[in-house]
Amino acid sequence: MEQYQDLLLKKSLPLSEQVVEAYYRYPRHLFVPEYTLQEAYEDAPLLLYKKGAFVSTISQPSFVMRILDMLQLAPGHKVFELGAGSGWNTALMSYIVGPQGKVVSSEIIPEVADRARGILDRMRITNAKVFTGDGFEGYEQEAPYDRIIFTAGSAEMPDKIFAQLKEDGLMVFVRKQERKADMLQLIKKSHGEQQILNSIPCSFVTVNRESESRLQDGTP
């Protein structure tokens, strides 16, 4: 296992010490048990769930760690994550923010949310919460947040989520663009307004909303 971890990490450097520590504390393969060790440590996304328009993946690991560096997480931070997926990113962030911090993660697909909760529970991670629901609304019960991260893309910036970010807080937002590559944007909340600090081309699945889930299930 260590050889696969080390090879992947070398491809991902340079990284902050806290991200490297989190990477070794919560190995990626534990979050994708249906894949082989070699597959788990390939620098590529892996499919977790696909049913109709509903798709969940675990993202390319080097990109995950790069994003965590961009977020500048610190002990004690409270983080909102849209899209729990495998729970790997949730676990990495929970390690960095420490016992005084907290990660609140949403997941629209019930089967994927149950899977993530099960893995986090087995690892005895107590400072992370995964709820099943529409993450596009944020989670006001725990607001405000020091950091917010999207793991799925949207053409629309959700005002409700941005309103839950603290002043001077950072958000990683994945902006979907018609006929163009997705853009991962690092946004700072400055005097209540969005200040884009960095933009990187990327490719992410699209955010699914609760209304779409109801339609697919045939419920009103």
**Eight-class DSSP state of 156:** S
Catalytic residue among 12, 59, 106, 213: 59
Q: What strands, in cross-sheet order, belong to the sheet with 193-202?
A: 128-132, 102-107, 78-82, 145-154, 165-175, 182-190, 193-202
Extract the tokens encoding 209: 């909303």
What is the chain's length? Answer: 220
CB neighbour list of residue 68: distance below 8 Å, 6 or more residues apart: 19, 22, 89, 92, 93, 96
Active site residue 106: no
Which residue, 46, 53, 59, 104, is CA-closest to 208? 53
Buried b (16+ CB within 10 A) or exposed e, 59-84: bbbbbbbbbbebbebeeebbbbbbbb
Active site residues: 59
